[in-house]
Amino acid sequence: MHTFARLMQAYADRYQLNDQEGSSKTPVPGVHFYRASRSNGRQPLLYQSGIIFMGQGHKKIYLGNQKHCYGAGDYLVLGVPLPLECQAMTENEKPLLGMTVDVDPQVLNALVNQLPATLSQSAAERNNLDAGLTSQQMPGEMMDACIRLFTVLQNETEAKILGPSIVKEIIYRILISDHGHILFDLARHDGHYARVARILTKLHQSYADNITVESLADEAHMSVSAFHRAFRQVTLETPLQYLKKVRLGKAKDMILFEGKRVNEVANLVGYSSPSQFSREFKRHFNATPKDLAQTP
């Protein structure tokens, strides 16, 4: 077992998380620990923006016709929240272990302002508004930072005092990497990528509202055609397709984790017609909301 995976397992032992399925907060703000004991087939999921590190097991994620594979020792950068399809695979009967790190806008902006202008310009030249998703193997310095982070996570006091500075280092190392343009684009507030990112945040917060493409374009200070084009380049979805997937993902969580009734959920996520909600839910998840509600 690699040092990183061993420290992740030690963290699970330390905080009695060996029965955990999914993600949980750690003592370091913005850092989450992920564990899953079983493999799962390809299924729709909403991935939040941030940096994902795999310590054990591997995943395949699909965005449109793109496929990304990442496993132990790899990391994934998502500049924006994306509706993906994911297949997860355990290895040698050991659980999947991972970590996600949120990118705090204030930390990001402070780092960008300290970096040479030539680095920012180079990142701008590499960007073509491609979908905000990339994966690669951790270089030695990144792996070292992740190992140090999980080392201090074994002690709550050390985690709270030393953890935030290690997170800052991790974000810095992403910025200076070949894929740093994704984070640079988020910090470039007037750029199209950052404008789309702000709209995506709004959609995740206000998904139940009556939302039109025209109102989103106006909020992004873009023409409808320019907004539609930029949105598709970043997410590979139209705005309304994206909104539908956000609504259905939220609905699934409400049914599974909050035990809400199907008709209530349809209304809570913005559907005026429960029958339309059920049809679209089944098409997306290959199961009806009632089937999901009855799953033990």
Look up the pTM and report it: 0.86
pLDDT of 211 reads 93
Mean local confidence (pLDDT), 140-150: 96
Q: What is the pLDDT of residues 187-218, one digit of tens each?
A: 887 788 889 999 999 999 999 999 999 999 99
pLDDT of 68 reads 85
pLDDT of 254 reads 92
With CA atoms as reference, report the closest residue to 33 among 49, 47, 17, 48. Answer: 17
How many Å apart are CA 186 and CA 118, to the nearest integer? Answer: 17
How many Å apart are CA 213 and CA 191, to the nearest integer? Answer: 19
Q: What is the pLDDT of residues 67-101, one digit of tens each?
A: 888 999 999 998 888 888 999 999 988 999 999 99
Q: Is the pLDDT of residue 129 over 90?
A: no
Q: Is the pLDDT of residue 127 over 70?
A: no
